[in-house]
Copies of this chain bind each other. A is one copy, B any other.
Amino acid sequence: MKFGIDVGGTTVKIGVVEKNQIIDKFEIPTKKETLFQDICLFLKEYMKKKNIEQIEGIGFGLPGNVIGNYIHNLPNIGLENISLEEAIRPYFPEVKLLAQNDANVAALGEMLYHNEYKNACMLTLGTGVGCGIILNGKIVEGVHGAAGEVGHMIIADDYGFPCSCGLQGCLETVASATGIVRLAKYHYHEYKTKLKNEFTAKDVFDLAKKEDPLCLFVVDRVGYYIAKCLSILAVTVDVEVFYIGGGVSKAGDILIQTIQKYYQKVSHYAVKNVKIEAAKLLNDAGMLGAAGLI
């Protein structure tokens, strides 16, 4: 039995995992001051209640930069420079502990859930664009914890929108939720549309499904840039499958099909048969992947 802990900005998801299945799950609020203490006390209480004496380990998915169990920063929570050992050890003196960035952990969770491939990338399309890369069943962490930061591939430099990272033309500037809104505003007067003055990425996809000309154009462009990113990943780490997850991916078939169409056009012949699929696990990927670290 393992615990998989998915730490978010507002809640902490706690999963009890056995043989890559979540057998029990809980949520507690994320409190900056007592984050790791709250988690540990909850786990100890749970073990006592269930008469569990031993666990295999505790895995953590954390929203920030984590390298080798050292938490450099969790910007959305406002914490930095925390040693996982120091935070957890007082409560669990002999348990295996491992932590990773949440996009990486979600990718691992998705892969474990499908239980079909050992080489996969999962693109997370949300407020930003992240990616977890799994090679031979293991997360690629990178020496700066920056592996899979594909949101900052400069591949939309024909638009050249400024990115929050300081660069221009990053994938994130056109393929994140805010990027999609930005693209639609940029082309607002070029195509007919039923979009109001204020709208979200979800509105763009909803109207695209109703054949709104502007929204169709925007979804086409978003699919193109994501396909370009995947074609680059394919000739770099050459995996078996790409999973598309995150809030934006709820758009469903229309986005996946556009990505697949362009992927066939822009990918190298050796990697044309790589699968592109919607991620299946929504809220559970983090817990499952965090436990999978152990």
- Chain A residues near B (Cβ < 8 Å): 65, 119, 133, 135, 140-150, 152-155, 158, 165-167, 228, 231-240, 266, 268-271
Contact = CB atoms under 8 A, between A and B. Distances in A.
B119 A238 contact: no
A71 to B, nearest CB: 15
A104 to B, nearest CB: 11
A270 B140 contact: no
15 contacts: A135-B135, A140-B238, A146-B234, A147-B236, A147-B238, A149-B235, A149-B236, A149-B238, A152-B268, A153-B236, A154-B232, A165-B268, A167-B266, A232-B232, A233-B236
A208 to B, nearest CB: 25
B148 A236 contact: yes
Contacts of A165: 268-269
B145 A270 contact: yes
A176 B240 CA distance: 28
Contacts of A239: 142-143
B140 A237 contact: yes
A147 B237 contact: yes
B143 A228 contact: no
A292 to B, nearest CB: 19
A235 B150 contact: yes
Given A149-B270, A236-B133, A238-B144, A228 B65 contact: no
A180 to B, nearest CB: 21
Given A65-B270, A140-B238, A236-B237, 6 more contacts: A133-B236, A133-B237, A146-B234, A146-B271, A155-B232, A167-B268
Given A153-B232, A155-B155, A232-B154, A238 B270 contact: no
A168 to B, nearest CB: 9
Contacts of A236: 133, 147-150, 153, 232-233, 236-237
A142 B237 contact: yes
Contacts of A237: 133, 140, 142, 147, 236-237
Contacts of A147: 235-238
Contacts of A235: 146-150, 152-153
A119 B143 contact: yes
A239 B147 CA distance: 8
Nearest to A168: B266
A205 to B, nearest CB: 26
